[in-house]
Structure 1
Amino acid sequence: MRTGWQREYAAALAGWAHAEIDAGNAGVTIGRLSAALDRDPLDESAAAALIRALHAIGRVVDALTWYRRVRDRIVAEVGVEPGPFLRRVHDAVLRGAAVAAGPAGPAAATPDPPAAGPDREHSAVDRCHDLARALALAGHPDRALHHARQAAAGYRAAGDRTGEGRAYLTLGRCEMQLGDVPAGRRTAWHGLELLRDAGDAMGEADGWQTVGEADLHLGRHTDAMRCFWSSLTLYRRLGATELEAQVLRHLGTAYAATTDRPLEGPPLPPAGAGFRPETVKVVGTP
C-alpha cells in the first residue's frame, strides 16, 4: 500500500508528465514514467501518462503494449479492470483520437483521493461493478446480480456507455452462471451493442466471446463460431494473445461439434476478416 508521500509523488509525477505532453514535450517523460511503472506496476496514473506520451510521439504499438501489460497485472493481482481514466486513454488510442489529460486537468489522472461531485459518484459506480465482478469470479453470481444491476444503472445515469456495456456483460454472465442462459445471452448481447456503439474494441471482443459461450451452451454451434470468430479477430488486432488463445479453444469446441473433427492449427484470420467456415482446416483435409 502506498504511503502518503508516495501518493503525492505519484500525483506530482503524473501532473508533470501531462503538462509536458500538452506542451509538446512528450518524449522527455517516457524514461521517468517507465521507471515509475517498474517500481509500481499497478500505478495507473503513471500508466495513463506513459500511454499518452507514447501515443503523442507516434509509438501506438508501444502504448497499447503498455496498457495490456498494466491491465493484465491489475486483473491478475487485484481481480478488477483498470479505472475509468486509464480505460478512456486506451480507448482514445484505439480510435486514433486525441488523448486528453482529463476533465479536471492532469491531476485527474490519479485516483487518490477520489474527486468530489460527479467524479466521486462515478468512482462509486466503478467500485460497485468491481464488487459484482469479484463476487461472480468467486462463485457467488446470486450476490453479484444486485451489484451488476446497480452498476449498469449508475453508468447509464452518468452517460457512460462503455461502463454500462461492461456492466451488462457482467450481469449476463451472472444470469448464465445461475442457469438462465437465454436471459444471460440477451443481456450480454445488449452489453455488446453498447460497447460496439461506444467504440470499445476490447469490450466488444469480450462481448462476442460471452455471447458465443451462451450459444455454445445452447447448442447453437454455428452462431457460436461466428461470435468466436468476431472475438478472435478483434483480440488479434489488439494483440491480446492470451485472450486470443482462450477464444481459439472455444472456437475449436464449437467447430468440432458441427463436424465431429477437431481444428488443425490456429485459424487466425487477417484483421477485419469476416467469418468464413470454408477457410478453417480440419484434421484429415488438404
Structure 2
Amino acid sequence: MQSGMKNRIYYFSGTGNSMRVATVIAQTLGNTEIISMRCNPSDVSAADWDIVGFIFPVYHWTICEAIQKFISELEINPNAYIFAVSTPSFINGFSFEVLDKLLKEKGARLQYGKRIFSVANLCIVYPPFPFPKLRVPATERKIAKVSSMIHKKVTNTYAKAGWLTRLIYPKMMPKYLAIQAEVDKGFFVSDDCISCGICSKICPKKNITMENLHPVFLHNCSCCMACVSFCPKKAIKYHLPPEQLEKINTPFMRMMKLPDKRKRYHNPYISANDLMIDKKYID
C-alpha cells in the first residue's frame, strides 16, 4: 500500500466471520484500523481516510438495521476508495444495493463489493452448515483473493438481488422483521451461568446487560448468536414463548429452539477477547 495511506474498516460481527475478514484485509493493506460498528459513529469518522471498508453478515437477505443506522450516521470521505465484503451463508440479497444507496446519499459510492460465503450460525434454528471443516478453509482462500483485489483498489459491479429474491422478499420477510425486536424473549439462562459477563461484552448491539450478576436481554437482538456461541458453560438456552409463536406461526419459527446437544459455531480464528475490542490498529 502506498506510504501515508490511511485506511479504516468497519465491521459488524457476532460469531467472528466478519471480524476475521476485516482482520485479514487489514493485514494485507497495512496501516489499517478495524472498528466495530458497536462504536458511536461520531467517534470513528471516516471523513479523512483514503480507503474505507465495510464488512458485515447478511440477515433477512440484507444488511440489518443496526448497520444501516451506523453507516447513515457515519461521516465518510466521498473521494475515498470504498469497498464492502458481505459474509452470507448463501443469499446475499439486497446487501450491496442498500449500502450503495446509503453511500450515495453522502455523495460517495461503493466501488468494490464482494460476497464471501461463510458458515451459517443461526444455531437456535439449525446446526452450523455447511460443515465448518470444509467451509472455513474455502472461505479463507476466498478472503485472501478478495484482500488482494482490495489492495490493488480494484473496482467491480457488485452482485444485486436476483429476480426470485425480489419476488419472495416482500411476501415473506416483513412478517419476520416485524417481530425481530422481540425474538430475544426466547433466551433464558440456566443455573450453569458463572456470571463471567462475556455475553454482554461481545454483543454487537449491546443488547445484553448484567443485573445482579445475571444476563438480561434488552429486546434489541439481531440473532447474531454471539452470546450463545461464546458462552463457556452453554448456559444460554432458547425456547420461543407460545405468545410469540402465535404472532408468526410458520415452520421456520416452530424450529426455533436450542437443544443442549446442538453444536455451536464461532470462527476458529476469532476469540471472545477479540470481539470485546472495539478498535484495533494493524500495521
Specify the TM-score bucket, using the shorter chain as the normaliser.
Answer: under 0.3
TM-score, with structure 2 as normaliser: 0.23
Rg: which structure is higher?
Answer: 1
Q: 1 or 2 for the larger relative contact order (CA 8 Å, sep ≥6)? A: 2
Q: Higher helix share goes to which structure? A: 1
What TM-score do you get using the length of structure 1 for normalisation? 0.23
